[in-house]
Amino acid sequence: MLHADETPVPMLPPGKKKTHKAYIWAYASTPFSNLNAVIYHFTPGRSGQHAREMLGEWSGKLVCDDYSGYKASFAQGVAEIACMAHARRKFVELEVSGKSQIAGQAVEQIRQSRFKPILDALHQWMQAQRTKIPHGTATAKALDYSLKRWTALTRYLVDGSVPIDNNRVENLIRPWALGRKNWLFAGSLRSGRRAAAIMSLIQSAKLNGHEPYAYLKDVLTRLPKQKASAIDELLPHNWTPVTADKV
């Protein structure tokens, strides 16, 4: 089971005068997995082909938002797990802006959605409200987001390993959003992919409880003499620091 998300990153190819929108994709294990890891993939655009190439023949369960780029994977057997936080957020935004009379009711019911009977009642309530709301309105779109993905939103009820939301990967992709304000852009596709590889190691080290500087320093010191057949020992989820008696 994987979490997935993507965020834009400006890229300035060599010889060009303007940046264009490249993307960082994040694929992370769930909090329930024995493997703590995140992999970032830097691509020149947001085409769904990039997701298909990354996932390859993998056919597990994918926690994601409603981006169409993942749809082809669902058609090939990947199980879609929708994010309740995304669904709730649409009603929260309407409630805060005062643009919907029923948004507050929706938020209150979602907060209490801990058991199947309550979710079933929420589903029936949303269906009933939808018949009263004109097509094309913000409230109709918020309701449709949940109703069209109801099966994917409620899979956590029948599978204890399924998370209720996609917040884990959203938190893991946040360093890139913050980084955009500091380093401004990637200088090429190659440099973007190098940054993605380094960030994958750093964030995966954090997920496994390692101090990133200590991890990278140790790995880079050992790497020249590490046997290719034992390279997996240096991955964050397998890494053990060298102690004085081993030196």
Instruction: Supply φ then ψ for residue 200, to 5 degrees.
Output: -60, -45
Cα–Cα–Cα angle for 86, 156, 96, rounded to 5 degrees: 25
pLDDT value at residue 246: 55
- For 31-48, the pLDDT digits (tens) are 889 999 999 999 999 998
Tokens 């079933």 locate to 120
pLDDT value at residue 159: 83
- For 87-130, the pLDDT digits (tens) are 989 999 998 888 888 888 888 877 755 678 888 999 999 999 99
User: Where does residue 116 rank: exposed (0-12), middle (13-18), buried (19+ CB within 10 A)?
Assistant: exposed
Domain topology for 2-82+166-203 = Nucleotidyltransferase; domain 5 (3.30.420)
**What are the residue boundaries of the structural domains of the chain, listed by start?**
2-82+166-203, 84-149, 208-246
Cα–Cα–Cα angle for 47, 30, 220, rounded to 5 degrees: 80
Q: Give the pair of three-digit tokens for residue 149.
A: 């993905």
Calpha distance 193→22 (Å, rounded)? 11
Q: Give the predicted TM-score (pTM) of the model.
A: 0.84
Q: Give the pair of three-digit tokens for residue 182.
A: 């500091």
- Confidence band of 16 (pLDDT split at 50, 70, 90): confident
- For 152-193, the pLDDT digits (tens) are 999 988 887 888 899 999 999 998 888 888 888 888 999 999
